[in-house]
């Protein structure tokens, strides 16, 4: 409810400012006109298939990053020498802007879906790795030691204890990562081509279609917020499960 009220306040301020005439329509379009354009784009134009393409690229990029980041985070948390050797390079990867990598990906992989997916994975890799690493390093060692005394070792210990207890941190990283992955998909489409919302934004920018730009940006915000909310609910449920596992182990 607070978020809805805050959003309603922003919409009201936007509507009043647009209606006041202090700014021309091509600078700040009316929110009612933006809503009409968004509805028209979803029902009659190409916004819906473009949104599906962008979400597919973002999801694939996020899953690819998670497939690499989760084992790496586990290794970093369990082997001190490996962590001291590799972690600085993982952090250094964030100094490379995604927009600078896009032309290289075009040279290496060409145009299409997979270069965009790789760019999304690059943007998402670091937050998932770091958040998961923090979660694994914060596990209750008394619980881990008790499980070892009960005979849990190797993959059994990882799957039945470490994964459930660290799952809230993993989902928190995925929640942050997926939002970044949507951004990565749009940036990739703007620079490497495609048929998603990035190309829609590029076309609207070239035609100076401010109302269309607002509509597409709002759609991106709605999609990212919806996924963020769903993952947040999963994260809250996983925290309950992790607490139950911890109490049972004690």
* Nearest C-alpha neighbor of 30 from the set 238, 230, 214, 248: 214
Percent of the chain with pLDDT over 70: 89
Task: Look at residues 18, 56, 43, 54 and name the one whose alpha carbon lies nearest to residue 214.
Answer: 18
pLDDT at site 195: 80
Domain boundaries, the chain: 51-248
Superfamily of domain 51-248: MetI-like (1.10.3720.10)
- Which pTM was predicted? 0.80
Regions of the chain with pLDDT less than 70: 143-156, 160, 238-250
pLDDT, tens digit (0-9, with 9 covering 90-100), for 174-225: 888 888 888 888 888 888 877 888 888 888 888 888 888 999 999 998 888 8
């Amino acid at each position: 409810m607070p978020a809805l009220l805050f959003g309603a306040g922003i919409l009201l301020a936007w509507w009043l400012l647009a209606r006041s005439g202090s700014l021309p329509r091509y600078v700040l379009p009316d929110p009612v006109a933006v809503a009409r354009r968004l509805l028209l784009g979803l029902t009659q134009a190409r916004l819906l298939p473009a949104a599906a393409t962008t979400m597919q690229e973002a999801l694939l990029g996020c899953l690819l990053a998670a497939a690499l980041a989760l084992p790496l985070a586990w290794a970093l948390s369990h082997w001190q020498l490996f962590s001291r050797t590799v972690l600085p390079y993982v952090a250094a990867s964030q100094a490379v802007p995604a927009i600078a990598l896009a032309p290289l990906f075009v040279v290496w992989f060409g145009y299409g879906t997979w270069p965009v997916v790789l760019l999304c994975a690059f943007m998402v890799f670091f937050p998932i790795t770091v958040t998961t690493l923090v979660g694994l390093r914060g596990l209750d060692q008394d619980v881990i030691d008790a499980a070892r005394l009960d005979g849990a070792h190797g993959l059994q210990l990882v799957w039945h204890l470490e994964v459930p207890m660290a799952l809230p941190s993993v989902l928190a990283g995925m929640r942050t990562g997926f939002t970044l992955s949507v951004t990565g998909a749009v940036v990739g489409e703007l620079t490497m081509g495609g048929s998603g919302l990035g190309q829609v934004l590029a076309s609207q920018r070239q035609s100076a279609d401010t109302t269309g730009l607002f509509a597409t940006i709002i759609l991106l915000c709605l999609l990212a917020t919806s996924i963020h909310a769903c993952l947040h609910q999963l994260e809250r449920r996983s925290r309950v499960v992790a607490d139950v596992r911890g109490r049972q182990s004690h």
